[in-house]
Structure 1
Amino acid sequence: MTAAQAGPAAQFGVDNLPYGVFSAPGIGPRVGVRLGENVIDLSVLLGDEVFARPTLNAFLARGPDTWAAVRARVTELVAGSVRSDAVHAADTVVMHLPFEVADYVDFYASERHASNLGRMLRPGQPPLLPNWRHLPVAYHGRSGTVVVSGTEIVRPCGQFVPDGGGAPVFGPTRRLDLEVELGFVVGVPSAPGSRIGPDEFGEHVFGAVLVNDWSARDIQSWEGAPLGPFLGKSFATSISPWVVPLAALGAARIDLPAQDPEPLPYLRGSGQWGLDVRLTLSVNGQAVSWPQYRGMYWSPAQMLAHATVNGARARTGDLLASGTVSGPERGEYGSLIELSWNGTEPVPVGDQVRTFLEDGDEVTLTASAPGPGGTRIGFGEVRGRIGAARP
């Protein structure tokens, strides 16, 4: 295969080369990169056993020097002729969870999203709680329920207070929601008791994925006081199968919005990690919102710095998600609770409307970012269909 034969899928061009884990008929799960319409088997292309494994973790742990060397070598090789047994059409392979998730932390980094929920849920009070502009608020999620795009999402059951109040009941959630997010994947671990500063972000984090942090809002609101999300969040979190390397996102880096008050010293860095990523949220094939990551208040570098400032170690495969990405306009909100304003303003979805998700609904998130020379870097998609609650 030559580069010219790789197909016209420009968002998966040579400036991107995202990593994933795939299998094909007669071939077990192993690591590949996406190039155009094809997946390139790195265990064949490079002859390195680390790419014959069913997760990216061993490669991620090797660190930035290896990441850069492999990227340079793959870029060189795909510019010429690639042996045919290393090439698989993307529509013929099965994609798997790209890395074994160690810990999963979900942040709350959008000022718009946090303010919207504050106005809805705490009317008459300041929309942001006093700590919000001082630190990246987060909850610790359940790594074992992170699933790859395409996995069915079974409607969860739990305890909640029905509409109109009264005693709590148990049953399937009536307010199943989605959250449009980006996630960042740790490669190089840190030692227990150490800290990772914002300027060390690129030494530890390999790349980014799309995230849909599914949420049962009625279960979440009943259980959330005083310790925060648990069963309303822990049933499933979907991620895209392709991990876009930070090395592919250089042209997407931008300054953060102004932070007032100035963060404490451990959250300050000389290099910003704001990112110009445009996302699209679709329900049942109908685009309903176009959030933009560029407006996020807290950067992923600050998230990692805050997560480790108390000495908690980072581990290979840690997933740090941004929290819902929401912009200033309704068409840029990244969750149904915002788009429907807590169920009071139904959202048009084709010839139907939604407040929250119904069984059979399929949610798809896509995203892209600027690349070199006016190109676009694609993240692929993260997709999930809602299945009925199980007895």
Structure 2
Amino acid sequence: MSTFVQVPAESDFPIQNLPYGIFSTSCNANRRVGVAIGEQILDLSAVANFYPEYVQNALRANVLNPLMALGYDAWNDVRTITRDLLLAGSSLDKNEELKKRAIFKQSDSTMHLPASIGDYTDFYSSIHHATNVGIMFRGKENALMPNWKYLPVGYHGRASSVVVSGTPINRPLGQTQPVDGEAPVFGPCRLMDFELEMAFFIGGPPTKLGERVTTKEAAKRVFGFVLMNDWSARDVQKWEYVPLGPFTAKNLGTSISAWVVPVAALQPFAVPNFPQEPKPFPYLQHDEVFNFNIELFVDIKPENGTQVTVSHSNYRHLYWTALQQIAHHSVTGCNLNPGDLLASGTISGETEDSYGSMLEISWKGTRSISVGENQTRKFLQDGDEVVIRGFCNGDYRIGFGDVRGKVLPAIPFEN
């Protein structure tokens, strides 16, 4: 397929990708739906009349929720027409005036949170990450909790603190216990961490309370994927998580990439699902392949330093699939809404260079890693920028752009 838009070699956004985002420009502050193509953005609101009437209002919205709600068939229609509009010789290609009103440089645009996120759930689906954490805190003999291979473990996060790439994150204040067995103290987090994750947005009409989504139905409920950094205050987490799990250690901020890559763009890069033993309960079983060969990288850029890669992992390491996560989430009858965000949990591989968090890379702070000339880290310092990148590579690249965020100093507490 040949597009009239110039797409640089190794671009994350060839015509085979066509991810969705919400953008604005200096000449038009209104937020609108866009599709990335090369280094440009196609403004779908400007070309909405080319699409069936039933999707036009969704393309003129200021968030992706209306498009998400239309469902699987509508997504296919929009994707097909968008691709055709971007082909060389298309009606859009021949209309110079319309191109001026519909195509914008990404460099001249501001990206926004792609959806209004009503609910956010974070899973714990990487067996290597769960094993590493278990070994650190419980030893090799009890690395995985007894339930881990029977269900996709997860918790409900804070949707209000999900932010788009580029948003800085302040080091949080909180209670910690620096010395085991002694009284806790209150102050800035000392063990600031990133978590390499991916997440997907739920689509389709809202489900009703009491209604389940099966693994067979779940694939048509996945609108698209984003990169995620689930910022974590490890020392706060250690003190507060018993007995109910993560709370303020996780609600300080969760960063996602601006572009939402549709499942259709990822399907050519599908790989076998992770082997599962014991066999899951019937409600978690599915034959459909829903795992993807997505290369994932984490870089740290110290203030006034150079960007250094500290982790190279892959989405394919996830034990539980997105379909199983949806089925388990809704098996109780929990209702799902378009724009709900479901995250993978930290994605770690088997080797040290593929660990998806500083907790693992530094092995609970027992070793340091280099982040440039004369600089080492066990956990993140103020001024560090974390950059997560991800893409599939083959005859072409399907990428997500990146998700980045800089750690700012804690905001002082005032009585």
Q: How far did 1:6 drift?
A: 2.7
Q: How far did 1:230 drift?
A: 0.4
Q: Match of 1:119?
A: 135
Q: Is the 8 A contact 2:120 2:342 kept in 1?
A: yes
Q: Distance in 2 between matches of 1:69 and 1:257?
A: 31
Q: Confirm whether residue 255 of structure 1 aligns to residue 275 of structure 2.
A: no
Q: Is the 8 A contact 2:172 2:410 kept in 1?
A: yes
Q: How far did 1:53 drift?
A: 2.1
**Residue of 20, 24, 39 corresponding to 2:41:** 39
**Residue of 219, 229, 245 corresponding to 1:202:** 219
Q: Is the 8 A contact 1:20 1:56 kept in 2?
A: yes
Q: Distance in 2 between matches of 1:62 and 1:4?
A: 29
Q: Confirm whether residue 84 of structure 1 aligns to residue 84 of structure 2.
A: no
Q: Is the 8 A contact 1:214 1:237 kept in 2?
A: yes
Q: C-alpha root-mean-square deviation of aligned residues, in Å?
A: 1.3
Q: Match of 2:407?
A: 386
What one-letter code is carried by the residue in structure 1 that aligns with 2:73? Answer: D
2:274 aligned counterpart, secondary structure: coil
Q: Match of 2:263?
A: 246
Q: Distance in 2 between matches of 1:169 and 1:277?
A: 41
CA 1:140/1:359 → structure 2, altered by over 3 Å: closer, same or farther? Answer: same
Q: How far did 1:301 drift?
A: 0.7
Q: How far did 1:255 drift?
A: 1.4
What one-letter code is carried by the residue in structure 1 that aligns with 2:382? Answer: D
CA 1:156/1:128 → structure 2, altered by over 3 Å: closer, same or farther? Answer: same
Q: How far did 1:164 drift?
A: 5.8
Q: Is the 8 A contact 1:253 1:274 kept in 2?
A: yes
1:13-92 equivalence runs, <5 A: 13-27=14-28, 28-47=30-49, 48-79=56-87, 80=90, 81=93, 83-92=99-108
Q: Deviations over 1:3-61 (max 9, x none)?
A: 34433153201100000000001311100000001001000022333223221001110
**Residue of 237, 258, 277 corresponding to 1:220:** 237
1:285-324 equivalence runs, <5 A: 285-324=307-346
Q: Is the 8 A contact 2:203 2:339 kept in 1?
A: yes
Q: Deviations over 1:206-256 (max 9, x none)?
A: 000001000000110111111100000011000000000011111122211
Aligned residues between the structures: 388
Q: Distance in 2 between matches of 1:57 and 1:134?
A: 32
Q: Match of 2:175?
A: 159
Q: Confirm whether residue 8 of structure 1 aligns to residue 8 of structure 2.
A: yes
Q: Distance in 2 between matches of 1:272 and 1:65?
A: 20
Q: Deviations over 1:70-91 (max 9, x none)?
A: 1000100110306221000110
Q: How far did 1:167 drift?
A: 0.6
1:3 aligned counterpart, secondary structure: coil
Q: Is the 8 A contact 2:7 2:14 kept in 1?
A: no
Q: Match of 1:348?
A: 370
Q: How far did 1:165 drift?
A: 5.1
Q: Distance in 1 between matches of 2:187 and 2:60?
A: 44
Q: Is the 8 A contact 2:5 2:86 kept in 1?
A: no
Q: Is the 8 A contact 1:29 1:52 kept in 2?
A: no
Q: Is the 8 A contact 1:249 1:370 kept in 2?
A: no
CA 1:5/1:194 → structure 2, altered by over 3 Å: closer, same or farther? Answer: closer
1:294 aligned counterpart, secondary structure: helix
Q: Distance in 2 between matches of 1:198 and 1:159?
A: 40
Q: Match of 2:53?
A: none
Structure 1 unaligned spans of 5+: none
Q: Distance in 1 between matches of 2:7 and 2:281?
A: 48
Q: Is the 8 A contact 2:31 2:62 kept in 1?
A: yes
Q: Match of 1:169?
A: 185
1:11 aligned counterpart, secondary structure: coil
1:8 aligned counterpart, secondary structure: coil
Structure 2 unaligned spans of 5+: 50-55, 302-306
Q: Match of 1:136?
A: 152
Q: How far did 1:201 drift?
A: 1.8
1:208 aligned counterpart, secondary structure: strand
Q: Is the 8 A contact 1:196 1:304 kept in 2?
A: yes
1:211 aligned counterpart, secondary structure: strand
Q: Distance in 2 between matches of 1:11 and 1:144?
A: 29
1:60 aligned counterpart, secondary structure: helix
1:73 aligned counterpart, secondary structure: helix
